[in-house]
Amino acid sequence: MPDTSRRIPVDVVDAALRAAERLGKDVADVPVLAIAQEAGVSRSTLLRRIGGSRQALDEAVRAAGVDPGGQRPVRERAVEAGAHLIGEHGLAALTLEAVAAAAQCSVHSLYGVFGGRDELLRAIFETHSPILDVEKVITGPHADLAETVATIYRLLAETVNRQPRVLPAMLAEALARPGEPALQGLLQHFAPRMLAGLGQWLTDEMAAGRIRALPLPLLAQQMIAPVLMHFVTRPAAGQVPGVDLPGVEETCAVFAEAFLRAVTVP
């Protein structure tokens, strides 16, 4: 598709921005007549200057570094676009230029919303990881220990299997390149939060005498790692002839029982 934004005069773009600010609307929602009045020309003259296409004007506004609107917020579109890039092509595909193209916004808009690639990656991880749902389970009213563990496992299964498969892609990146700066930044950002959530819940269970006193990092890994690796590799395992995998619900119950047998106090 040719770049029509270069055909739009700068004074027309400025008039559209002024009209949007005056009316308190996105540029895409401002009537052509209002933009024409702001530019001091007739509606027909404005249409002729923008080539008869409102889309061309919106593209010119976007090229000027302003989201013309008329769509979902830039943050939502960028997180969704970035998640699909990671799920389909891996973490290396997450560049601001690629996200801007997929989200139909400018790189300047991404900097304005996120500040940079690392902050965008954090937003994607928070949206497409189970961290928010797990926090709700362990901080709110919940059932007994066995049911809570099984619920967390079901959340993990849903997250891993959900498209785009962001979490499996990030795990693959972590295994291949554990020193990747972007992943280290994620760990430094989310590790304290996970310790304050899941770690505190496990600590409380140990203090209550329901779980044996074990080093917290090892206990958390013992709880999460087996079921997480199962669901990450499950799609491939399901393709192996003769391998008959149990359903997700049964799988979560089996892993929960195994974990509780290993760590609970008799």
Give per-residue pLDDT as tens, 231-254. 999 988 888 898 889 999 999 999
Distance (Å, rounded) from C-alpha 259 to C-alpha 152? 12
**Is a pLDDT exceeding 80 seen at residue 71?**
no
Residue ranges of domains in the chain: 7-63, 74-116, 129-263
Question: Between 218 and 195, whose confidence is greater?
Answer: 218
State residue 55's pLDDT score: 81
Question: Between 98 and 112, whose confidence is greater?
Answer: 98
- Is 74-116 the same fold as 7-63? yes
Write the Ramachandran bin of 161: left for phi over 0, alpha for psi from -120 to 50, otherwise beta. Answer: alpha
**Is a pLDDT exceeding 60 seen at residue 15?**
yes
Say if domain 7-63 classifies as CATH 1.10.287. no
For residue range 141-159, what is the model confidence (pLDDT) as tens digits?
666 888 999 999 999 999 8
Q: Judge whether 209 and 265 are in contact, CB under 8 Å.
A: yes
CATH code, 74-116: 1.10.10.60
CATH code, 129-263: 1.10.357
Q: Averaged over 42-60, what is the pLDDT?
A: 84
pTM listed for this prediction: 0.68
Burial label, 143 (beta-carbon count in 10 A; 0-12, 13-18, 19+): exposed
State residue 109's pLDDT score: 82
State residue 142's pLDDT score: 61
Identify the weakest region by mean pLDDT among 3-17, 113-127, 206-220, 240-254: 3-17
Distance (Å, rounded) from C-alpha 37 to C-alpha 55? 19
